[in-house]
């Protein structure tokens, strides 16, 4: 089992603290009752999530629905300066194995305008049912204090063996969402398994999200979004589309956040969480007024 990291953006907007957003994607592998009852794991998760205005949690495996409730309740106790809510997808999976996507967000900063569970579809021109192992969960957020008022997040956790096919199909998802909501400020994020043995140089040429220059890949192929010292793979990605949102990103701020090093954990301790690094992206929604925190 490979373990990845949390994706974060680190920047600061000079004009007003409320004018910037930190957006994260975090694969908390097999998050359920067991992890929710582990005080050490939950303590680290709370510290990580409190760094984010908005975080996509992946691989939630909790049929009772109590683990996320407990996590958000504890997060509100931990960070009293903010108020957190969440929205969750259906339980997704082709067979008995099911996962959920969950967006945890500061409701004193953001509101949800609408959300959409992408449906299971027939693969075009093939006999294969379902383009995705876990269909994307799409949420449209409203940010009243920023220049970009509305933006869309498409969360996705691909199946490793079909990673390139699923990444390519996200282009179709984008087109459908744009037609539905007429909003081109879109961010695709999550554990796309977009690195190492799951992708090929030749295969990238057929991936429409890579060949279309309107999409900006913020996590490069050379970056490492894994916890294990013996791996160096850019599995987790953030991809953005839209003139306004691209121009609002703090340059160089989309980076893997190595929580193992930051919180002085051993590899064994980090693997107990079985998470990815958090991938963090910071958006400054007042143009030409941001700088990177040293």
Residues with active-site annotation:
99, 157
Cα torsion 59, 60, 61, 63: sign = negative
Distance, in Å, from the CA atom of 76 to the CA atom of 3, rounded to the nearest integer, reads 27
Q: What are the Cα distances from residue 12, in Å, to 59, 95, 111, 253?
A: 30, 44, 22, 10
Phi-psi region at 54: left, alpha or beta (left = phi > 0; alpha = psi -120 to 50): beta
* Per-residue b or e along 54-79, where b marks 16 or more CB atoms closer than 10 Å to that residue's CB: bbbbbbbbbeeeebbeebbebbeebb
Coil/strand/helix, residue 181 = helix
Coil/strand/helix, residue 229 = coil
Distance, in Å, from the CA atom of 31 to the CA atom of 60, rounded to the nearest integer, reads 5
Distance, in Å, from the CA atom of 69 to the CA atom of 96, rounded to the nearest integer, reads 23
Question: 191 and 198 in contact (C-beta within 8 Å)?
Answer: no
Question: 2 and 224 in contact (C-beta within 8 Å)?
Answer: no
φ and ψ at 43, to 5 degrees? -60, -45
Distance, in Å, from the CA atom of 16 to the CA atom of 96, rounded to the nearest integer, reads 47
Distance, in Å, from the CA atom of 291 to the CA atom of 286, rounded to the nearest integer, reads 11
Bridge-based pairing of strands 54-60 and 84-88 is unpaired
């Amino acid at each position: 089992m490979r373990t990845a990291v949390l994706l974060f953006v680190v920047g600061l907007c000079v004009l007003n603290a409320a004018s910037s957003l930190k957006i994260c994607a975090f694969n908390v592998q097999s998050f359920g009752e067991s992890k929710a009852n582990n005080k050490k794991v939950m303590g680290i998760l709370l510290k990580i999530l409190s760094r984010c205005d908005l975080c996509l949690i992946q691989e939630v495996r909790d049929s009772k629905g109590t683990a996320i409730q407990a996590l958000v309740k504890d997060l509100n106790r931990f960070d009293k300066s903010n108020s957190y809510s969440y929205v969750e997808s259906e339980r997704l999976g082709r067979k008995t194995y099911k996962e959920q996507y969950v967006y945890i967000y500061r409701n004193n900063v953001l509101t949800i305008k609408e959300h959409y569970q992408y449906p299971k579809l027939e693969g075009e021109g093939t006999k294969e049912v379902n383009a995705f192992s876990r269909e994307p969960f799409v949420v449209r957020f409203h940010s009243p204090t920023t220049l970009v008022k509305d933006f869309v997040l498409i969360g996705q956790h691909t199946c490793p063996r079909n990673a390139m096919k699923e990444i390519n199909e996200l282009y179709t998802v984008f087109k459908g969402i744009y037609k539905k909501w007429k909003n081109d400020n879109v961010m695709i994020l999550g554990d796309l398994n977009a690195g190492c043995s799951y992708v090929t140089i030749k295969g990238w040429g057929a991936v429409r999200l890579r060949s279309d220059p309107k999409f900006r890949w913020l996590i490069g192929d050379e970056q490492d979004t894994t916890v294990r010292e013996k791996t160096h793979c850019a599995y987790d990605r953030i991809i953005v589309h839209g003139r306004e949102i691209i121009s609002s990103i703090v340059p160089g701020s989309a980076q893997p956040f190595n929580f193992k090093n930051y919180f002085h954990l051993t590899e064994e301790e980090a693997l107990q969480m079985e998470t990815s690094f958090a991938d963090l992206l910071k958006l400054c929604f007042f143009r030409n007024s941001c700088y990177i925190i040293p």
